[in-house]
Amino acid sequence: MPEVEPALGAGPLLLIAAAAVAVLLFLIMKLKLHAFLALVLVSLLTALATRIPLEDVVTTLTSGFGSTLAGVALLVGLGAMLGRLLEHSGGAQVLADSLIGRFGEQRAPLALGVAALLFGFPIFFDAGLVVFLPIVFTVARRLGGSLLTYGLPVAGAFAVMHAFVPPHPGPVAAAELIGADIGLVLVFGLLIGLPTWYLGGYLFGLWAGRRYDVPVPHLLDDDAPRTADDEPDPSVEGTSPGIASAGGRRTETATRPAPPRFGAVVGLLLLPLVLIFLNTGLSTLATAGALDESSVVVRTGQLVGATPVALLITVLVAMVVLGVPRGESGAQVESIVNSALGPVCAIILITGAGGMFGGVLRASGIGTALADVLGDIGLPVIVAAFVVSVLLRVAQGSATVALTTAAGLMAPVVEATEGLSSVDLALIVIAIAGGATVLSHVNDSGFWLVSRFFRMDEKTTLKTWTVMETLLGTLGFLIALVLSLFL
């Protein structure tokens, strides 16, 4: 992202930011302009309005677009392939049946949410949501009702883990900048994050599911092209795929291959988690001096445990585990994974355009202007940290960027404040994380991922996803604030 010196004061920048969001909502919701085109157009107009030098405008746009896709496109593409394989093989149904059997049909949303909390510990929001989508869709189709009843608890679980709990980059970077102990941030992230998710994700998801009837989309349905072997023989009356006539009687000549075992499905979902944990563990040991950071073992573990590589390995293993035992050829497996990419291309482009919009807001100096407004107010440190993070989140969209930027802006204030304990520092990080979670809207890639995957229009997404994110962030901050008064 090019460094651009702000050409306007804080007041005009804030007005431009508000106008940009209003215009974007108008174009999408009223004029029904495609979200990708609207985001690109508003990004361009905002760059011009904030007087980013003309020679830097295109670079600013493409930098924001490219940096977002670098973190999202691989994860969404590979995650969609893994989800498609799970759906096609019946693995999603197996996992759904097992979860429902253990928790009961009445607690299916709770079962899905708990599973998402476990898998969300090391896996980023984008990848986790995409991997869980076929499971959510399968359960929603089987039990009926609104997709939100099952989808929001899952999305909320991944959002909480992504913002509140190390080793996700946002809380890790914030802890480093504030000077908080990572271990305490992890403890308080879980201590605060779990009740926050239960109240703001699970219970809100149940309420939203009753209020908004969102049907299950056919985004990940089994729509792979049929081969000649799959088609019925038209010369034999009454036959269908897998059925032949023998002596006037219909007999089974082929049956649908058995779905994978529950252990195989869980193993595939655990594989990227284990690989990512390997990366985290080796990096931690190397930082602590227990291992040589330049050793082949550490560098290899960090490579295979990087999230895109871990997902790539998992997809390759899934192609073998879920394809070969079913007797499917390489061409059939290739057709299955290929069918996963078409539906997510629009999602990837819209997500990248959302990153473009956020990049323009950052490069224009709007984030810094928002933080400067609070400089003379004199709020308590933990409250000021939350407010700064909220404003940064609203201005540029990315929770990780809001976490990191707010922590950097608050670090001098924290250093100058006497009497802050290690617990106080950890709770300040959680407060920043809460602020970076609220009010997810049109400049947040997560907003578009949920909107497009759930097949919701922007208005419904604002009423459901945005409200849930605001509840999660606010509840997390309030619990951290209360704990800071007593600890």
Per residue in 436-448, pLDDT (tens digit) is 899 888 878 788 8
Q: According to the model, what pLDDT value does residue 92 have?
A: 67
Joined tokens for residue 95: 């996992």
Indicate whether 381 pLDDT > 90. no
Indicate whether 1 pLDDT > 60. no
**Percent of the chain predicted with pLDDT > 70:** 82
Indicate whether 374 pLDDT > 60. no
Indicate whether 350 pLDDT > 80. no
Joined tokens for residue 332: 């059939």
More confident residue, 350 or 237: 350
Which helix (H) or strand (E) covers residue 32, if one does?
none
Q: Find out whether 355 and 305 touch, Cβ atoms under 8 Å.
A: no
SS3 string of 331-353?
A: HHHHHHHHCCHHHHHHHHHHHHH
- Residue 410 to residues 130, 166, 176, Cα–Cα distance (Å): 34, 19, 12
* Cis amide leading into 260 (omega within 30): no
Other CB atoms within 10 A of residue 35 CB: 23
Number of residues in the chain: 487
Arithmetic mean of pLDDT, 385-411: 78
Q: According to the model, what pLDDT value does residue 242 have?
A: 38
Residue type, 134: P
Beta bridge partners of 246: 249
Predicted confidence (pLDDT) per residue in 72-111, tens digit = 677 777 877 887 787 777 776 677 678 778 888 788 899 8
Residue type, 185: V
Indicate whether 345 pLDDT > 90. no
Q: How far apart are CA 84 and CA 92, in angstroms?
A: 9
> Of the segments 87-96, 115-124, 153-162, 216-225, which one has the largest average pLDDT value?
153-162
More confident residue, 57 or 68: 57
DSSP 233: -
Q: According to the model, what pLDDT value does residue 378 have?
A: 64
- Average pLDDT over all residues of the chain: 78
Indicate whether 417 pLDDT > 90. no
Q: Find out whether 370 and 14 touch, Cβ atoms under 8 Å.
A: yes
Q: How far apart are CA 484 and CA 487, in angstroms?
A: 5
Q: How far apart are CA 471 and CA 328, in angstroms?
A: 46
Residue type, 393: R
Q: Residue 247: CA atoms inside 13 Å, Cβ hemisphere, count?
A: 1
Indicate whether 421 pLDDT > 90. no
Predicted confidence (pLDDT) per residue in 445-472, tens digit = 788 888 888 888 888 999 999 999 999 9
Predicted confidence (pLDDT) per residue in 229-267, tens digit = 333 333 333 333 333 333 444 444 445 677 788 888 888
Question: What pTM was computed for the model?
Answer: 0.64
Q: According to the model, what pLDDT value does residue 376 have?
A: 58
Q: According to the model, what pLDDT value does residue 274 have?
A: 82
**Percent of the chain predicted with pLDDT > 90:** 17
Joined tokens for residue 413: 């204030």
Predicted confidence (pLDDT) per residue in 169-203, tens digit = 678 778 877 888 777 888 898 899 999 999 999 99
Other CB atoms within 10 A of residue 141 CB: 15
- Residue 472 to residues 101, 166, 405, Cα–Cα distance (Å): 29, 17, 20
CA 405 to chain centre: 20
Q: How far apart are CA 123 and CA 120, in angstroms?
A: 5
pLDDT interval class at 211 (50, 70, 90) = very high
Arithmetic mean of pLDDT, 14-28: 80
Burial of 9 (0-12, 13-18, 19+ CB in 10 A): exposed
Contacts of 42 by beta carbon, 8 Å cutoff, 6+ apart: 20, 23, 24, 27, 357
Predicted confidence (pLDDT) per residue in 282-291, tens digit = 877 887 777 8
Residue carrying structure tokens 């989309």? 217
Q: According to the model, what pLDDT value does residue 464 have?
A: 93
